[in-house]
Chains A and B, each alone.
Chain A
Amino acid sequence: MKKVQFKSSYSQYFFLAPQLLILLIFLYWPIIQTFRDAFTIQDAFGFGSYFAGFENFKFIFTDPSYFTAFKFTIIYSFVITLITGSIGLLLAVQANSVLHGKNVYKTLLIWPYAIAPAVVGVMANYFFSERFGLLYHLFNNIWGFNWYENVFDAYIYVVIAGSWKQISANFIFFLAGLQAIQKTVIEASIIDCKSSIRRFWTITFPLLMPTTFFLIIINITYSFFDTFGIIDTTTIGAPGSETKTLVYKAYIDGFKGLDLGSAGAQSIMMMLIVLVITIFQFRYIEGKIHYN
């Protein structure tokens, strides 16, 4: 914290008030409502509701479709993190090593980062439709690809759609991480070790660990939340509901199924998951301060 500060006065509340006001009305009020929903069961005919304790939570834990969504979300975030991280790292290392055209490559590789997931999903939709889909027919000729019926094929579809723009994000951050490594360290390592591949894994990659860790968190958060627009414009959970993420399932149950209790309980479970991720993140930031 700052050593020199202003003394407490009403002017502090003046600076904090606008944001706090918006957060209270549009964030805290809905959150309180979510908790209220999660511990309430509404009469199926809308005649009334009663306090239900942990009934809604018990319900989602005994519901096989919740575990299907849970399993899919874990697999999905793991695969997206792995694919986008490795391709992003590969491209960043190459872009950092070339002498000519570095900026051209950089510009032409980062723009997909700005595109909304829903737009990417609509585009992917055209490549995977039975009618026009170039990729649908390519894969179909190789192994009989059909995401409308086959769960594994549907996984491939949403993984490709979900990974595409996230490669750019990984590329940007890895490139920034590589450029932050001091030249003298790399020069010294060239003298000690001739193999450039070994040099990468023993010197450069360990130095990139903070960036890697940061990107794992970013990619997991992306797979949990931002892929909503992708699922909603591609499979909508098809073949059955095997490609619904936890967030997508909560939305469908709440908004389409009008089961507010279940949706509320699912939202609170997600908040707990995000809380755990955030605690990890904070620990990492603290660790980084010690290094410096």
Chain B
Amino acid sequence: MNKITFSFSHLILFSGLLLMIVPVWVIFASSTHTSLFINTNGLQFILGDSFLENYSRVLFKTSGFFQEITALNMFINSFIMATGIATLSVGTSLMAAYGLVYYRVKYSSFFFWLIFITLLVPLELRIMPTYEIMSKLNLLNSYTGLILPISASAIATFFFRQFYKSVPDELLESAKLDGANSWKFFIDFLVPLSKTMIAAVFIFMFVFGYNQYLWPLIMTTTEQYWTVVMGLKTMYGSISHRFAFVIMSMIPPVLIIIFLQRWFIQGIFQDK
């Protein structure tokens, strides 16, 4: 009886694995064939022998896939955008959460609401006015323009606030006895203590930034600033090159989550 339920569990889990892996495998296998082969024979389950040719073409050649930009340049743009978003939101949120948790002032709850009410308004709901404002500020087609509106988010502040609240009060008491002022306490005590949390939130924001689709799609009109995820919508060219680009586009976030999953999940769940 036990043995039957045991293998039944494995059967279900294995079906789950297939559900997740097969679709990506089919696109990957198809990306290693020539377009001519795909066009006559359809999607493939078995690897072909055009892997190097297709992937190097997409990464390094401009013509025939996009007009002026290679996939490699789009990856560079995506990394600049994701790193900018992660750095800026971790930096500002770390400070803002500190200002909210460690100070006693009459306006604290006003600032609290001013920051957290913004969680109600995702970028999708303010995309038109944001576009107008960015064009007024002359920030369309720039890295600054890609980064700033996405960094205007209180998600990271929420995580840090939860974390600070779990830090024992004795830490500040003893730091005060040692004569630490608010800046010193922040830099010498709290930031080192939050290292795991900072790393987890940074990774979270990096993947969040990398995966942005709508904002880069509408704010970049020159190919020079195109990012990977938005590029999927605008790419043309032969079918197996497109498959190769789809597969490459998912590699960075998937690698991040596989290799850093324990760290990542630990950091995010710390408040639970």
Contacts and interface: CB of A to CB of B under 8 A. Distances in A.
B272 A180 contact: yes
A267 B125 contact: yes
A37 B115 CA distance: 23
A213 to B, nearest CB: 14
Contact of A225 (B23, B124, B152): B124
Interface string B119-136: 111101111111111000
Nearest to A32: B129
Interface residues of B, number: 91
Interface of A: 1-9, 11-16, 18-20, 22-23, 25-31, 33-34, 37, 87, 90-91, 94-95, 97-99, 101, 105-119, 122-123, 126-127, 132, 134, 164, 167-168, 171-172, 176, 180, 196, 225, 228-229, 232-233, 247, 250-251, 254-255, 260, 263-264, 267, 270-271, 274-275, 278
Contacts of A229: 213-214, 229
Given A4-B176, A22-B151, A107-B258, A27 B23 contact: no
Interface stretch (B52-60, B64-72, B101-109): B101-109
Q: Helix, strand, loop or mixed for chain B's interface?
A: helix
Contacts, number: 253
B25 to A, nearest CB: 11
Given A176-B265, A251-B214, A19 B95 contact: yes
A111 B253 CA distance: 8
B126 A34 contact: yes
Given A123-B27, A176-B269, A19 B103 contact: no
B115 A19 contact: yes
Contact of A110 (B5, B133, B148, B257): B257
A274 B151 CA distance: 20
Given A7-B104, A117-B211, 16 more contacts: A5-B104, A18-B95, A34-B126, A94-B12, A98-B10, A101-B13, A111-B254, A123-B24, A123-B27, A126-B30, A126-B43, A164-B20, A228-B213, A233-B233, A247-B124, A267-B125
